[in-house]
Amino acid sequence: MDAVVIATPDHWHCQMVLDAVKAGKDIYCEKGFSRTLAEAKLMRDKLKQSEVVFQLGHQARQATCALQAKELIARGVLGPITLARTGRFKSLEPEHPNWRWYGYYDQWNRPDPAQVRKDLNWDLWLGPAPRIPWNERHFWHWRCYYAYGTGYAGDLLSHEMDFVQYLLGHGIPDNCSCSGLLALLRDDREVPDTWVATYQFEKLGRTVTFEGSMNTNDSQPVTICGRDATLRFDAIAHDVSTFEIIPAGHNRKADWPKGYERGKTPPQPNHIVDWLNCVRTRGTPKCPADEAFVETATFLMSLKSQQEHRMVRWDAAREEIV
């Protein structure tokens, strides 16, 4: 065995990454990277001390149009960037609420609970999580409970904020204000169904917003707003396929790019293929350990802000959320 794919609930990621590093196995790990900042530091440090090829599962980085947008942004075609907007929305029928599926997205056929209990090693599944008696809802619907994940923060916001980080490369935000509410899905879940976070990069004069709701099918395509133009993708992060560039009213440049030019940028490999290529060449994938740490600090800032009902800040010297 040369490599492992870690696609367990988040509460197992840290131990599995550490075990794989110790065994010298290359790793593809699903997001969110970890549940806590302490875990993220430990995982990052062990990965960087090793020769393991690591990829975090943020598939938006595979988009060819995203690479072209990244290159245009780096050239300064938008002017100073002061705002980026992202979001995740999905509403389902009341009898099938979000994150209550069985095994995979939008699967509603409930397996026989007695057979599941017979087949499952519950204590092993819990692993580092608190010991509780067998709980079918915690097993199938683990995203709804904080013992196993971080809710909207690590599951959905992390995708969008990682994509903005891929495009702009600005690192961990200086501060975050976040509010979350259980507006409709009051079905014993702990995590909110509505999540709104505002991040600021003070030295850059930049704000990034995330809006999420499981109670509406509104949409917020990833949008990067500069003084001279706005770049707007056609979808959420990992569904992007094209973008348009909308010049500001004062922008009279005749040679302004209109948007994504197909064929101009070489096709990019699938995110898994990117990792496998790097396993073979010992190169660096598109979402390595340092980027995984940026992702984790960013989404955990929103979680801490929401849970403590206050603005939080990133202490770069101590690598702590304060």
CB 202 within 8 A of CB 195: no
pLDDT in tens, 121-151: 999 999 999 999 999 999 999 999 999 999 9
Tell whether 194 is covered by a domain: yes
Position 64 scores a pLDDT of 98
Ranges of the chain whose pLDDT falls below 50: none
Position 231 scores a pLDDT of 98
List of residues 6+ apart from 124 with CB closer than 8 A: none
Backbone angles phi, psi at 277, to 5 degrees: -60, -40
CB 142 within 8 A of CB 32: no
Position 251 scores a pLDDT of 85
Backbone angles phi, psi at 110, to 5 degrees: -80, 120
Cα dihedral 185/189/190/196 (nearest 10):
-30
Run of H or E including 176: strand 175-181
Tell whether 164 is covered by a domain: yes
Position 70 scores a pLDDT of 98
Tell whether 294 is covered by a domain: yes
Instruction: List residues bridging with 201 in a β-sheet.
Output: 206
DSSP 153: I
Tell whether 3 is covered by a domain: no
Tell whether 114 is covered by a domain: yes
Both tokens of 180, joined, read 């979350």
Both tokens of 244, joined, read 């348009």
For position 320, which CATH number holds?
3.30.360.10
In angstroms, the CA 149 to CA 292 distance is: 16
Name the residue among 146, 232, 231, 224 with its Cα closest to residue 188. Answer: 146
Count of the separate structural domains present in the chain: 1
Position 252 scores a pLDDT of 79
Tell whether 110 is covered by a domain: yes
CB 166 within 8 A of CB 60: yes
In angstroms, the CA 92 to CA 97 distance is: 6
Domain span holding position 200: 61-130+137-267+290-322
Instruction: List residues bridging with 173 in a β-sheet.
Output: none
Tell whether 52 is covered by a domain: no
The helix/strand/coil state of 82 is strand
Instruction: List residues bridging with 179 in a β-sheet.
Output: 196
Q: What is the DSSP string of 51-63?
A: ---EEEE-GGGG-
Tell whether 244 is covered by a domain: yes
List of residues 6+ apart from 127 with CB closer than 8 A: 11, 12, 15
Name the residue among 278, 280, 269 with its Cα closest to residue 55. Answer: 278
